[in-house]
Amino acid sequence: MTAAAQPTVASGRETALCLLRDMLLCRRFEEKCAEEYSLGRIRGFLHLYIGEEAVAVGAMRALAEGDAVFATYRDHAHALLRGVTAGAIMAEMFGKREGCSHGRGGSMHLFSREHNFFGGNAIVAGALPLAVGYALATKLKNRRDVTACFFGEGAIAEGEFHESLNLAALWQLPVLFICENNLYAMGTVLDRSESQIDLCAKSSSYRIKSTCVDGMDVMAVLNAATEAVQHIRETGAPVFIECQTYRFRAHSMFDPELYRDPEEVKRWKLRDPIPAFLSKAVAAGQLLTTDLDLLEKEVAVVVQEAVAFAEQGTLEPVEDLLRHVYSEREILQSVGGVK
Amino acid sequence: MKEITYREACHDAVRSALLADERVFLIGEDVGSYGGCYAVSRGMLSEFGPQRVRDAPLSESAFVGAAIGAAMAGMRPIVELMTVNFSLLALDQIVNNAATLLHMSGGQINVPLVIRMATGAGRQLAAQHSHSWEGWYAHIPGLKIVTPSNVDDARWMLQAALADPDPVLIFEHVNLYNEKGALNESLTAVPLTGAAIRRTGNDLSIITYGACVNKSLRAATELAEKISCEVIDLRSLRPLDEATILASVRKTSRALIVDEGWRSGGIGAEISARLMEQAFYDLDAPVARVCGAEVPIPYPKHLEDAAIPQVASIKKAAETLVGSHE
Amino acid sequence: MSDFLMPMLGADMEKGTLVKWFITPGAHVNRGDVVADVETDKGVIAVEIWQSGDIEQILVEPGQEVAVGTVLAKMRSVADKERPSVPGPKIIEQPMPSEAEIPQRVHASPLAKRIAEDLGVDLIKIKGTGPNGAITRADVEGAAKRLKEIPQPTVIAEAVAAPVTTGVASSDQMRRAVAAAMVRSKRDIPHYYLQTDVNVQKLMSWLTEENRRIPVTERILAIAPIMKAIALGLRESPEFNGFYKDGAFQPQSDINLGMIISLRGGGLVAPGITAVDVASVPEIMSRLRDLIERGRRGKLRSSEITSPTVTISSLGEQGVDVVYGVIYPPQVALVGLGGIRERPWADSGMVGAAHQLTITVSADHRVSDGHLGSRLLNRISELLQNPEAL
């Protein structure tokens, strides 16, 4: 239950390229988001995942297409990795109707039923009961799909975390709980909010198989998640993974970071998951240093096209204001979810 | 016509829903082994098994949230919450998730969820089991709020709620469970929303719902020689059937709203405001309300009775409203 | 050349203070470099630059507070790209609220008002039977029916026998009506007149004192306590309070004082205040004020015209010292009030100045005589010496 001492190495060139590309895409996409925010084209709250990419990249790669994902308000990377297009996400943040939530949700509420991606939940711990219920439905339908639920360590202070873990364990539901422990619940460091900071001890107390990994090491996360998903599919029982990670940027854009020492941020930046993974993969002969440039170029195009797509998007007419409060006919027919 | 209790009507509704659709399951505290706090689900655990009649731990937020998650995955859960007061422990899930997911997702993710809960005073259960917060819930866009007042609605509204693609909250008044009524056996369905005129009249429209419908009907009968009262059972507090309310008030020119919930900011206030907005020039007297007294529901019987609308207070309000010439 | 702007750092940020530059003109910057500290409501935030290039010119000095979107520095960027500017806030002009109309205090339901308008019924004439005496649809419809049945007199001429109401009568009609009533009075009633001077010094001091304590709009005029004194005096002299009808005097138990009001357009009305003897002085004042105001607008109720048992004619304001009034049949007395003036007053051999008022009684000799009339005048005078008891 401690962080993996020796980072693992990618098993093959293809996997390594994918992992690096995914991390780069998340990083560059979000840097663009920050820029667009400073220009006032993205509004509301904007929470960036920069620094934590290895967690979502590693965990998502362990999931299959039929699995479901529930995430938090720090959800851009998760949506991207689930296959929602960068353009649909950027358009959403621009408030355009071409956005993945029709422009109604914004940065914190990205959704895509097509990708079994269920947001985008801005109430801390609010999505845990939903994930439990989604998994219950899977079980009642005798399916083997996994429901992955991402949340920060701040959620652990909420009653819904404990109630949900209890239900998942009590009813033996196929939920993968992934705790993105970035040490700070907004501005409150873990040991100032929790009497027990060993998070696996908490989840274990519900008799849930629990493990803690280095969230800055994409391979460590991938391996732990792969093992967990396999366990869930075999037993139907939930698994809890704590990923120890760090966000490099402020909680949201409007945060002077009074609560943490800039030296601490610098120290964590030395462990940036992207260069760390690149150097290991190069040393292992899986990647070439030149791969980075090629991937950067590829990612830059994706990001640029996303912005262009968002810019060209259209605003929903004000006459449609009251839509999406109750279901419309076409939605009635599309209700289905897990079949 | 067959005489049955409201409880039996609720029971038959849940049971037939479980029989009719594999996707339906009942979840809640003590719905299984105990048979339901108000004995609505008695016998169902043995008939349908623990997967479909699921006892939940005392964690309202989690099991209501789980029902929402299951509904998102295409199931048709029926949640039973013991009382409206306990529903507040799940308020986050009801308000922040069930009511908003469809909208936040731009119309992609609907939540076909049904929550049944007991509401209201009258059984001396004091200030943490007796309140009427259906009016509160009716404040929230994205939810549908219904209040069956008789055995026909208790029997058939659940079916309509399950057929609805969005979250429906059904409020069953505790005092109704033991009340007997004649079930209309020719019915096989009722609409989920839309008000019903339970008695027609010309002098005064009494607008009410839930357990106050019977009280209002009794008051109307006792007043019949002096005042001809029309009694409207709202049935659904969200959406409100404005058309029926307005048509009735335009006919009678007087409106008396009877609402067990507290007066301040209640559903009665909402109805009154809509009458001001849309029927002002048809009113021959100020809109009047008989509401719950502004006090947490007290335990002793005489004070509990005094805290909520009664036949006598409804009659008195009606007489005052109609004035001296009728 | 491109601009480096004061960034938008949060949904609630409108402006920021540049605290410190980490660059100088000529410096080369790379995309992502922190170039300045900006102080916001939430604290100091390090601000990055999103383009690589050379800083040409710094436009905002440390300590300056500027709006979001303000150009902080000019730079020559590597990829000199156009950036969208931050839109400024829109100013929406609020229309000025229109002046509120003065509400009319008739308690009628909205439906009753609507129907009254349709049927041409004046709500003022109707007695309400709804909650709190409000006029309802049934009241309006009932009144409309009665209106059809009874031809409505519109002239105050009938004021004598069945005086009426609204200000619909023209001044000519009114003049004719007054003439008819007065001719009848002088023909039928053997008038006698008495007069006395009353020292109202105490009353005036008491009024000054009272009025100091109350808002200007509720200020009491001397007429109110005088009316009260007259009413109390009448209570002890029932021979003056009532109607002479069918050859006999019919004393009235209620003491309702009519007040002659001259209308701006000419003509007179004499609406009454009921039960003055049991009303408080402030109450009399407010009712009088209301009566005068409505009387001049022609908005009197018929009951107010028919009810007076004794009429008061007060002409002091017009500079008159003594009033010898003509009785309004079928009443049997009229009290005349002159102006209140400071005049010499002898008391215990000393001559001083005092506020004085001349009160007269015009009375019907068929019912009373000078002895009774003097008693009434003396009693009124006495009551006015003790104003706080009124």
Query: In chain B, where are the structural domains located?
Result: 2-183, 196-322
Site from C107, C111, C114, C135 to mutate, B interface, most B CB atoms within 10 angstroms: C111
pLDDT at C100: 42
Higher pLDDT, C70 or C11: C70
Mind telling me the catalytic residues of B? 60, 129
Residue partners of B247: CB distance under 8 A and separation at least 6: none
Gyration radius of chain C's alpha carbons: 39
- Is C384 inside any structural domain? yes
The C-alpha of B253 sits at a distance from chain C's nearest C-alpha, in angstroms, of 8
CATH number of B196-322: 3.20.20.80, 3.40.250.10, 3.40.50.920, 3.90.650.10?
3.40.50.920
- Is C102 inside any structural domain? no
Residues of C with Cβ-Cβ distance to B286 under 8 angstroms: 109, 131
- Is C101 inside any structural domain? no
How sure is the predictor about B324, in pLDDT bands with cuts at 50, 70 and 90?
low
**Residue B3 pLDDT > 90, yes or no?**
yes
Give chain B's mean pLDDT.
96
- Dihedral Cα C185, C188, C194, C200, nearest 10 deg: -30
Residues of B with Cβ-Cβ distance to A339 under 8 angstroms: 74
Residue partners of B178: CB distance under 8 A and separation at least 6: B5, B6, B7
Domain that holds residue A76: 13-334
Please indicate whether, in this complex, the C-beta atoms of C8 and A38 are within 8 angstroms of each other: yes
Give chain C's mean pLDDT.
81
Give the rounded percent of residues in chain B with a pLDDT score beyond 70. Answer: 99
pLDDT at C337: 93
pLDDT at A171: 98
Inform me whether the C-beta atom of residue A44 falls under 8 Å from chain C C-beta atoms. yes
CA distances from B239 to B112, B168, B195, B274 (A): 17, 11, 10, 13
CA-based nearest residue in chain B for residue C134: B285
Please indicate whether, in this complex, the C-beta atoms of A253 and C9 are within 8 angstroms of each other: yes
**Residue C94 pLDDT > 50, yes or no?**
no
Say how far apart CA A212 and CA A222 lie, in whole Å.
Answer: 12
pLDDT at A339: 35
- Asked if residues C250 and C264 have their Cβ atoms less than 8 Å apart, the reply is no
Sign for the CA dihedral angle at B52, B58, B64, B65 comes to: negative
Does C353 lie in the same domain as C276? yes
The token pair that represents B297 in the structure block: 């529901």
CA-based nearest residue in chain C for residue B321: C131
Site from B95, B101, B236 to mutate, A interface, most A CB atoms within 10 angstroms: B101
**Which range, of A116-120, B128-132, C15-19, C124-128, averages the lowest pLDDT?**
C124-128
CB atoms inside a 10 Å sphere around CB C91: 6
**Which range, of A21-35, B137-151, C309-323, C360-374, averages the lowest pLDDT?**
C309-323
Helices (H) and strands (E) in chain B, counts: 13, 14
Average pLDDT over residues B269-278: 97
Inform me whether the C-beta atom of residue A254 falls under 8 Å from chain C C-beta atoms. yes
Average pLDDT over residues B165-183: 97
CATH code of residue A108: 3.40.50.970
SS3 of residue A1 by DSSP = coil
Inform me whether the C-beta atom of residue B106 falls under 8 Å from chain A C-beta atoms. yes
Average pLDDT over residues B167-176: 97
The C-alpha of A181 sits at a distance from chain B's nearest C-alpha, in angstroms, of 22
The C-alpha of A275 sits at a distance from chain B's nearest C-alpha, in angstroms, of 35
The C-alpha of A228 sits at a distance from chain C's nearest C-alpha, in angstroms, of 38
**Residue C361 pLDDT > 60, yes or no?**
yes
| Number of domains chain A contains | 1
pLDDT at C80: 52
pLDDT at A337: 37
Does C168 lie in the same domain as C28? no
Q: Is it true that B2-183 and B196-322 share their CATH fold?
A: yes
- Is C207 inside any structural domain? yes
Q: Give C326-354 pLDDT, tens digit per residue.
A: 998 889 999 999 989 888 888 888 888 88
Domain that holds residue C127: 110-149
pLDDT at C171: 62
Please indicate whether, in this complex, the C-beta atoms of B286 and C136 are within 8 angstroms of each other: no
Q: Number of residue pairs across B and C with CB atoms under 8 Å?
A: 44
Sign for the CA dihedral angle at B274, B277, B278, B284 comes to: positive
Site from A108, A254, A311 to mutate, C interface, most C CB atoms within 10 angstroms: A254
Say how far apart CA A227 and CA A70 lie, in whole Å.
Answer: 20
Inform me whether the C-beta atom of residue A132 falls under 8 Å from chain B C-beta atoms. yes
- Is A290 inside any structural domain? yes
DSSP for C113-166 reads HHHHHHHT--GGGPPP-SGGG-B-HHHHHHHHHHHHHSPPP-SGGGGTTS----
How sure is the predictor about C164, in pLDDT bands with cuts at 50, 70 and 90?
very low
The C-alpha of C127 sits at a distance from chain B's nearest C-alpha, in angstroms, of 11
How sure is the predictor about A10, in pLDDT bands with cuts at 50, 70 and 90?
very low
| Number of domains chain C contains | 3
**Residue A11 pLDDT > 70, yes or no?**
no
For residues C7-40, one letter each, b for 16 or more C-beta atoms within 10 angstroms of the residue's C-beta and e for the rest, the string is bbbbeebeebbbbebebeeebebeeebebbbbbb
Name the CATH topology of B2-183.
Answer: Rossmann fold (3.40.50)
Determine the longest span between alpha carbons in chain C, in angstroms.
Answer: 119
CATH code of residue C119: 4.10.320
Residues of B with Cβ-Cβ distance to C128 under 8 angstroms: 323
Say how far apart CA A263 and CA A247 lie, in whole Å.
Answer: 14
DSSP for C208-240 reads HHHHHTS-GGGPPPTHHHHHHHHHHHHHH-GGG
Please indicate whether, in this complex, the C-beta atoms of A166 and B96 are within 8 angstroms of each other: no
Does C226 lie in the same domain as C137? no
Please indicate whether, in this complex, the C-beta atoms of A40 and C8 are within 8 angstroms of each other: yes
**Residue C177 pLDDT > 80, yes or no?**
no
Does C216 lie in the same domain as C142? no
**Residue C241 pLDDT > 90, yes or no?**
yes
Does C185 lie in the same domain as C145? no
SS3 of residue C305 by DSSP = helix
Average pLDDT over residues C165-176: 57
pLDDT at B290: 98
CATH code of residue C208: 3.30.559.10
Average pLDDT over residues B2-24: 97
pTM: 0.71
pLDDT at C9: 79
- Is A55 inside any structural domain? yes
Say how far apart CA C236 and CA C384 lie, in whole Å.
Answer: 15
Does C178 lie in the same domain as C120? no
- Asked if residues A163 and A202 have their Cβ atoms less than 8 Å apart, the reply is no
Say how far apart CA C201 and CA C209 lie, in whole Å.
Answer: 13
